Structure formats: C-alpha cells, structure tokens
Structure 1
Amino acid sequence: MAELKTKATDASIEEYIASRANEEQKADCENLIALLKRVTEERPKMWGPSIIGYGLYKYTYESGRTGEMCRTGFAIRGKELVVYLIVEGAEQEALLKQLGKYKMGKSCLHIKRLADIDVKILEQLIIGSLVHLKARYG
C-alpha cells in the first residue's frame, strides 16, 4: 500500500505562506490561523507540503486502510483559499446557504477571500465539522 503523502511535518508555516500567498491572501491566512487556533485550541502544523492543519484524528475505512489527518485546516490553492471541513446535516447545510460566495467540494470549501463570506458563519461551520468528526472518529 502506498504511503500517505499528507502527514504532519515540521515545515515552516510562515515560509509556506510567504511562498504562495499574495498580499490579500497573507492577511486572510493570518485571520484564518487566528480563527482556527481559537476554535480548535490547537497550534497549527503543516500537513504535507501545502495544508496548514489543526489537531489530528485517526480513521479506518471499510477496506481496512487506516490513516491520520488534521481535523481542520486550510491551504492556498492559486487564487483561492481552501478550508477543509465536513458539511453534513440540515443545520450545516442551512449555515452554508448563509455563508456568501464560495464553492463546495466533498470536504473542501473554496473561497477567493474572507471579505466574500460571513466569517462568523464560517466559524460555526468549522465547529459543526469538528463535532461531526468527534462523533464519527472519537
């Protein structure tokens, strides 16, 4: 089985942001770091080469494959910021409708800038995602 590429590292968060972010993204990254640190009560750590992650959970798929991943985090993806969270259930879906301008993948919330969304709603979505992860994975 292939080794997972996305795992916690000691890489520098500051160097990652400096190498990828434009000026507006740098300010948004600082705000996301503060928000996620407050909500998770965890210190950020680089996961793989491009995710600023918080916390850790261990999972096992039905196939028996196991792994570890950060509970939440974000990455700079070109002109977008991607926040990693789970949006499941009516309450989370209702919050998502109030968020503002975004695109949602399976567990990737794509935004161009924090100014395009309601950051208080984002915080509630992240909290809901953390609750969901804890219920599912302990």
Structure 2
Amino acid sequence: MVEKRTAENKRKVELKTRPNNSSVEAFIAGVEDEKKRADSHELIKMMRRVTGEEPVMWGTAIIGFGTYRYTYANGRPAEMCATGFSPRKSALTLYIMPGFSAYDGLLSRLGRYKTGKSCLYIKRLSDVDPDILEELVDRAYRYMKDRYPD
C-alpha cells in the first residue's frame, strides 16, 4: 500500500531542512572519513571567504552559508541556504543553487565531478582545481544574493 502524502506529511518533510543551532564542528567531527573531515574544513574556509557568512547547520547534514527566501507557486514562502555542502558518504555534495547552465566554462576546467540539478558531487577536493571551485561558488552565491535580495 502506498501512503498518500498529506499536507502535514509534506510540511514535516520540508521542515527538516531548516537552519538550526546544531554545532557544525560536532557534525564534522562525526564524519568517519578523515580526508572528508579535512576537505570539509577547507570548504568551510573557502565558503566563509566567498560569502562573508558563518556556517550554519541546515537540517541534520547540510552546512549552509547565507540564505535566500523564495515563494512557491501556491504562495507559501520558503527559505534555503544560498550555498553550502554536505560531506556525504559517496561524495562531497556542494549546493550550487542556480544550477550549472551558466557555468559551462568553469566546469570544463574544474576537474573530476558529477552534477545533479543543483548539486556538485566531488569525491575529494584534490580531484578539482580549488581556484575554479572557489570562482564557481562565488559566482553562484552572488547570483543568488542578487536574484533573491533579503
């Protein structure tokens, strides 16, 4: 039997990815893979530099920087981090919220990666050019802040 998604169930799912007061340091300390922990610290340094924001836990597994507010077609407002990442087991997942269509030139020079709609998947930071990655995050973050001013 397939459970129908009620409005309350949808709301519960959506509430998981909200900013909270959980410790970013404690979260990273819990990452089993030592290299992923080190890469996470490097990503935090880079994203702080690019955004001027402090890292905040979003839900249980996303480290976000900055926010943007938007409205669904039904008129309901929502909020998400403007950029961020998660040290997932399979890969470091970076959230490039505007997607990748405007960044083909950067991606061609980035290194080894995969993409989803707004996710950049990297096995290790050593697989990519750090300067190109920083430029990609910077451009995407600036786009989000311009498109969705507070």
- CA displacement, residues 50-76 of structure 1 (integer Å, 9 cap, x when unaligned): 001111110112232321111111001
Per the alignment, residue 82 of structure 2 pairs with: 71
Of 94, 100, 120, the residue aligned with 2:131 is 120
> CA RMSD, aligned part only?
1.4
SS across alignment from 1:54:
strand
Per the alignment, residue 112 of structure 2 pairs with: 101
SS across alignment from 1:56:
strand
**1:58/1:81 Cα in 2 relative to 1: closer, same or farther (>3 Å)?**
same
Deviation at 1:137, TM superposition (A): 1.4
Deviates more, 1:18-27 or 1:105-114: 18-27
SS across alignment from 1:34:
helix
Per the alignment, residue 55 of structure 1 pairs with: 66
Per the alignment, residue 37 of structure 1 pairs with: 48
**2:24–2:56 contact (8 Å) kept in structure 1:** yes
Q: Which runs of 5+ in 1 are unaligned?
A: none
Letter matched to residue 48 of structure 2: K
**1:87–1:125 contact (8 Å) kept in structure 2:** no
Q: Give aligned-pair identity as a percent.
A: 47
Between the aligned partners of 2:70 and 2:31, the Cα distance in structure 1 is: 30
- CA displacement, residues 2-52 of structure 1 (integer Å, 9 cap, x when unaligned): 142101111011111122241111110110010000100001010100001
**1:79–1:112 contact (8 Å) kept in structure 2:** yes
Between the aligned partners of 1:31 and 1:133, the Cα distance in structure 2 is: 22
Letter matched to residue 54 of structure 1: F
Q: Which runs of 5+ in 2 are unaligned?
A: 1-6
The runs of 4+ residues in structure 1 deviating greater than 6 Å are none
Please state if 1:26 is matched with 2:37. yes
SS across alignment from 2:21:
coil
TM-score normalised per structure 2: 0.85
